[in-house]
Amino acid sequence: MQIDRISEIIAHFIGHFDSVMDEARLRIGYTGGQVHDNAPAPSEELEALDPKFASDLALKDYVPGVEYQDNGVKHFDVGGRAYFDPLSTQELRDLDEGFGGGFRLPRMGVSEPNIPIEPDERLLVHPGPGSAISHMAQINLLFDDDYLNMTSDYHAKLDTSYVVERLAEFATDAVRFTPFSDLDRTDAYESLQKIAQEVHDYKEDLVSNNTTSIGEDAEVNFVLAGDEIHGTYVNGVITQEAPSLNDFMPDRGLAEPEDDPQKSETPLEQPGPQNTLDITAGANVVANIASFTTTGVITPVMSVMGNYHQIDVITQAYVYSDNDTNAFAQKGCGNGWDGENSSHAPTVAANIATFDRTEFGGTGADSQAAPDQDPTYPSDWRVSVIDGDVCFVQWIEQYNFVTDNDQMVVTTTGYETTVLIGGNAAFNITAYLGLGQQYDLVIVGGNVLDMNIISQLAVLYDNDTITGEAGGTDNVNTQTGNNLLWNEASIHNVGSNDRFEAMPDYMQQAQQNIQHGDPNMPETLGTDPNFVGHEWLNVLYITGNLYDITYIKQVSILGDSDHVTQAASDYLANTQTANITIDTGSNAIINIAEIVDYDSFGGSTYVAGQTYSDAILIQGGLVEDDHTQPQPTNNQLANEVIAFLDNDPAPPNTDDIVFNSADDLGGPHASPADVMQTMIA
């Protein structure tokens, strides 16, 4: 039979043919030579169950390459390619859901088992918003030290490098009024927490020592510290309203932008030539302007499982020196302090700080139902989770450093002459609006740090010198003062300070449900009066800390030490009726910073830990009495350089000789050594 051939092949293949034969002989020996029939009688127990049992399965011979199918199990054949097992009910169920119109796949006589499936009871968690960190730096650096000679004579240039040294010294002297101006930019929670602790310790030291001033040699010296500060302070004096910058801006003269001409049908008359000389060597404007509005995460209700720390700090300082030497102060220009015609209008310096706090209008309790209706309470929630810390950091530093140390030798020409050798403008302007996502409830698993710091410094060096040579006109009008130093800062917090409450149990239960993945919102959470009128709650859970930091540092430094010499004209007719106007002041150094911080949008802030609040205001002003005079530039080589360049010994009996190969007009009108300079200029 075919089956014997198969057995023989298998036996030879596995190498057990001989052993099988030996086992067969042994079995024959065990049975005493009696061999059972090929078809043994069925068991009596099986016959009792089904006497007529018969199987229609016939065992066929092995034929290689022929596919075998059992006739007892019927499959669903689609195109002769795919087979679907009717016992795989889950696969058929998935296919049913993919069809429309109520179509269901056939089950081929096999009933679908009814297996109950329990729904997923885990909380569905949505992703929350990320952090927003911005570090900005704006820097203006300008050196505009000009030299102007309107005569035919040679005048030695003056060395004004000492002005930079004086400005550095002034800025160093003002450090005591700006203790938080040297902070390093960071967004790490550990570093920010260290800064907050430093501010807290500084405030506690001021309060414990009852400190109201720093030092004794300052024109303005004011310190105020406590848990909170309200009001507007101008140079240490509280006022009802902050002054306006437009009321104090100096007249810039020739540097003032021209207004657009108005339409007129009247013909314009051009006057004849006038023998005037109008010079503006100052009129510089240096300004830093920053405005920040931050919301962080918009929510009326916040639950803080740790501590809540609020910090508001404003430090302001100005330093200036305005000691002028004016040879024309007593000649028709007043004595320097007598009204509008004064040659030296006083320099105005102001530190203006405003602390304000308002309450956001419209809380959750205002949305209650009408008196004749039952109030609505939320019964479900949508939860978003952020793992770790969430930070909103706005850090900006603005710097202006400008020098405009001009040297001029001027004279009349017989015509109308205007000279603008100053009038520089350096601006740093930043406006920031940070908007976050809105939630009904924000749960913070760690601490909350809300810190606003503004540091401002304005420095001016404006020691001017105006001299006149013999034979010059007496009709000279001068202005060497009229400068403005302006520091203005404002911190406006939105959210009442009485919103803090103890942590209720249902807020802690809500946090635990979120941590354990419980989809059920605590029933008592919906009874919070802040949530009346809501059908469901949009909740954000932050597992770490939340910190909202805004830091503004502004530094404006201007050196404007001008030296003007009024020389006699080469022609007497140009001098007799000439009018000269010289303005070496009228500078403006401005720092303006504003922070609008939305701490709360109504409602309550629940805190499980401690609540800390620190507020500091420092205003300082220094007036330096510096009388350093510029000296002619020393162009001679140092002795060491001469010794290095000259190897020959100097012959005896030698004198220094100044050799001038040009005439009187040779210096000012000499052609440049670069012959292409006039071609490419």
Kindly report the CA angle at 408 between 160 and 253, in degrees rounded to 5? 105
The encoded tokens of residue 630 equal 């510029």
Q: What's the CA angle centered on 229, arms 225 and 235, to 5 degrees?
A: 75
pLDDT of residue 275: 80
Q: What is the pLDDT of residue 259?
A: 66
Classify burial at 14, counting beta carbons within 10 Å of its beta carbon; exposed 0-12, middle 13-18, buried 19 or more. exposed
CA atoms within 13 A on the CB side of 316: 28
* 456-478: b (≥16 Cβ within 10 Å) or e: bbbbbbbbbbbebeeebbebbbb
DSSP assignment letter at 131: -
Do residues 580 and 476 touch, judged by C-beta distance below 8 A? yes
Local structure of residue 669 (DSSP, 8 states): H
What would the pLDDT profile of 455-468 be if each residue is shown by its tens digit? 999 999 999 998 88
pLDDT of residue 410: 87
Q: What is the pLDDT of residues 203-226, one digit of tens each?
A: 999 999 999 999 888 899 999 999
Number of C-beta neighbours around residue 447 at 10 A: 23
Query: What sign for the dihedral angle of Cα 441, 293, 139, 218?
Result: negative
Model pTM score: 0.73
What is the DSSP track for 307-374?
Answer: -EEEEEEEEEEEEEE---EETTTTSSS-SSSSSTT-SSPPPEEEEEEEEEEEPPS--GGGGPPPTTSP
Please report which helix (H) or strand (E) contains residue 207, including its range. Answer: helix 189-208
Provide the pairing of β-strand 325-326 with 465-468: parallel
For each successive 10 residues of the chain (681 residues), what is the average pLDDT?
Answer: 64 61 65 59 67 63 62 49 50 55 51 57 84 94 91 86 93 94 90 94 95 88 94 95 93 77 63 77 94 91 95 96 82 38 77 93 49 75 93 95 92 85 94 90 95 97 84 74 95 91 93 91 89 91 94 96 81 65 92 94 91 96 87 62 51 47 40 39 37
**Closest CA relative to residue 288, chosen from 483, 140, 462:** 140
Enter the tokens of residue 260: 């657009």
Residue 26: count of CB within 10 angstroms of its CB: 10
| Structure confidence at residue 523 (pLDDT) | 87
DSSP 438: B
What single string gives the DSSP state of each residue in 524-551? GGGG-GGGTT-SEEEEEEESS-EEEEEE
Query: Could you tell me which of 68, 67, 72 has the C-alpha nearest to residue 57?
Result: 72
Report the distance separating Cα 529 and Cα 525, nearest Å: 9
Helix (H, G, I), strand (E, B) or coil at 499: helix
CB-count burial class (<10 Å; 0-12, 13-18, 19+) for 144: middle
End-to-end CA distance of the chain: 115
Which two structure tokens, joined as six digits, stand for 575? 């001098």
* Pairing of β 82-84 and β 76-78: antiparallel
| Number of residues that this document lists for the chain | 681
